[in-house]
Amino acid sequence: KQEVTQIPAALSVPEGENLVLNCSFTDSAIYNLQWFRQDPGKGLTSLLLIQSSQREQTSGRLNASLDKSSGRSTLYIAASQPGDSATYLCAVIKGGSEKLVFGKGTKLTVNP
């Protein structure tokens, strides 16, 4: 059974800092990995999708890496801003499955 763990559960940083959010998964036979952002009371916004054959994806100040063999992904946020404050969720889909398995998220607070 696939399990996804995100560490830390919460993170508070001053504005301008670069930071890394971690995601690990128990079954390396994944099809892809997706990072989402969830603002309080809102839905999920897809940030980055990494296919199992890829090592990283970048979008603006965000960079996500994937190491399938070790069951790990990181989301790097450069020059953090107060507007980045949200909960960040990592989710994986197993090959041959339709099912997205989520971690419990990292709640990020960027202080001005």
Residues binding other proteins (CB under 8 A):
31-32, 34, 36, 42-46, 49, 51, 87, 89, 91, 93, 98-102, 104-105
Euclidean distance between CA atoms 53 and 86, whole angstroms: 28
Nearest distance from residue 98's CB to other proteins, in Å?
A: 5
**CB closer to other proteins, 55 vs 79:** 55
Least Å distance between CB 13 and other proteins?
20
Nearest CB to other proteins, comparing residues 62 and 100: 100
Q: Name the residue with tokens 């989402």.
A: 36
**Residues 9, 73: contact at Cβ < 8 Å?**
no
| 73 neighbors 51 (Cβ within 8 angstroms) | no
Q: Quote the least distance from Cβ 40 to other proteins, whole Å.
A: 10
Decide whether 15 or 106 has the Cβ nearer to other proteins: 106
Gap between the Cα atoms of 34 and 93, Å rounded: 8
* CA gap 31, 58 in Å, rounded: 19
